[in-house]
Amino acid sequence: MKKPSPYHRLEKRFRRLSAIGDAIAVLHWDWSAMMPPGGAEGRAGQLAELAAVRHALLVAPEVEELMEAARAGGGLDEWQRANLGEMDRQWSRAVALPEDLVAAMVRAQAACETAWRDAHPKGDFAAVLPSLERVLELVREAAAAQGARLGLGPYDALLDGYEPGARSAEIDTLFADLEAFLPDFLGQVLERQKGEPDVIVPDGPFPAERQRALAVRLIEALGFDFDHGRLDESRHPFCGGTPDDVRITTRYDEDDFTKSLMAVLHETGHALYERGLPKAWRGQPVGQALGMSMHEGQSLLIEMQVCRSAQFMAFAAPVMGEVLGRSGPAWEAENLRRLYARVEPGFIRVDADEVTYPAHVMVRYRLEKALVAGELKLAELPAAWNEGMQRLLGLTPPSDREGCLQDLHWYDGAWGYFPTYTLGAMTASQLFDAAKRADGAIVDGIGRGDFQPLFAWLGANVHSKGALLPAHELLSQATGRPLDAEVFKNHLRRRYLG
């Protein structure tokens, strides 16, 4: 029997690494959606052991040797070369970290998430502070080690883990541009809204089972496949699982169905991206999603660009009225469109409109940079958070529950993630603009509840390409230009002042 080539031996190893990663992903989903509280300590141990096993397989000496041999041997096609590059990227980040640090981070994150679950509803930041200090200590240690190996500063090393190739200096420039634009624009939008008829807010209650039934109707119309996915509840909405077993969650407020529904539609954008990744490359790095800006771009394209549009509401309004058992002026498509397009500064990021959403992200981005750099102490976080919210949105949260405790990310160890939300919003507007220009049937299809033209374009230009290209190249190929904040700003002008 012919001995497998170095490249094919790498494929076999990374297929095993992917399987372990998939198991970790499903255990994480179960932790958030199903696991009883008493299982936390045991689950933390399981996740730490799996992370250590996966890390050892990835950084074993033969991996570097096989990559060198595969590069020297040549004869690889475009996808294989890209796969080898992604293997090298994963290996380079992992080899900088000792195994005991990897396991310690998992355990610390699990302990901190458990503490957050208790502290969040009480708004008790002091209760979670010791656990969060341990997480940040380990995050800094990992960031310093990876940064030293990759030639990056600690924060850029963290950012690179979520958005390969992104650098904080570039993000600072993009965010400065948005910060110069948004305050005046927000003022114009709020002033315009004053002169419009009041939006009719549908009266509750809306039982959770009815809200779930509505969500199922709409996400199945979008293309969510319940043979390959689930919809459940969790404290914080998220998408997890694997491309063939994708899990989304939401949370229900029986007084207001609109928040839960948009959360489900947002997570469905993530899920459909995962489902659309190239099947031929399942289990290989090149078959995975292309960074979190592109991932958030898919979710925000569905939530913000599509599902808050007049066309979507023309399709969805009758479904909402039917499933929720309501009728009347509040349930007319135009009123629901205006309800979902209403701009109003608020405390909670996941409920924010798309005009104020970037401000929420910029607050978090600046805080996490300062915390990683040691320029801000964690004990000072609540006051610094409130100051940032007051400066950018004119609001001071009434408690830490609506402030620095609202998001799970930092408590679960996700540092360097937040800027990808606004990069994703810009990506979403640019992709949707290009899709509409490429196929005039897309907008009409949305109005009829036919999303096939849209997902055909996304499938061909984004989903099916996996990590074949760097994000900036894929976006340029799909839209004809690199990431351009003007496209996002023009979208906002058309929707809210047009």
Q: Taking 80 as the threshold, does the pLDDT of residue 46 lie above it?
A: yes
Question: CB under 8 Å to 289, separation ≥6 — which residues?
Answer: 273, 274, 277, 295, 466, 467
Of 431, 481, 485, 486, residue with least CA distance to 461: 431
Global pTM exceeds 0.85: yes
| Catalytic annotation, residues | 267
How large a percentage of the chain has pLDDT more than 70?
A: 100
Please provide the average confidence, as pLDDT, over all residues in the chain: 96
Q: For the domain 170-205+261-497, what is the CATH code? A: 1.10.1370.30
Domain definitions of the chain by residue range: 6-163, 170-205+261-497
Percent of the chain with pLDDT over 90: 97
- Are 432 and 301 within 8 A, CB to CB? yes
The answer on pLDDT for 427 being more than 90 is yes
C-alpha distances out from residue 297 to 185, 227, 270, 280, 304, Å: 22, 25, 9, 23, 10
273-332: per-residue pLDDT in tens? 999 999 999 999 999 999 999 999 999 999 999 999 999 999 999 999 999 999 999 999
| Residue 98: other Cβ atoms inside 10 A | 14
Handedness of CA 15, 240, 47, 350 (dihedral sign): positive
Residue 236 is predicted with a pLDDT of 84
Report the sign of the C-alpha dihedral through residues 476, 481, 483, 489, in that order.
negative
Q: Which pLDDT tens digit goes with each residue over 249-271?
A: 999 999 999 999 999 999 999 99
250, β-bridge pairs: 233
Question: For 325-376, what is each residue's pLDDT tens digit?
Answer: 999 999 999 999 999 999 999 999 988 999 999 999 999 999 999 999 999 9
pLDDT-derived band at 74, boundaries 50, 70, 90 = confident
Q: Where are the alpha helices (DSSP H) in 208-332?
A: 208-222, 257-276, 291-300, 310-324
Q: Which two tokens stand for residue 68?
A: 């060198």
pLDDT reported for residue 1: 65
Peptide bond into 61 cis (omega under 30): no
Number of alpha carbons in the 13 Å side-chain half-sphere of residue 57:
20
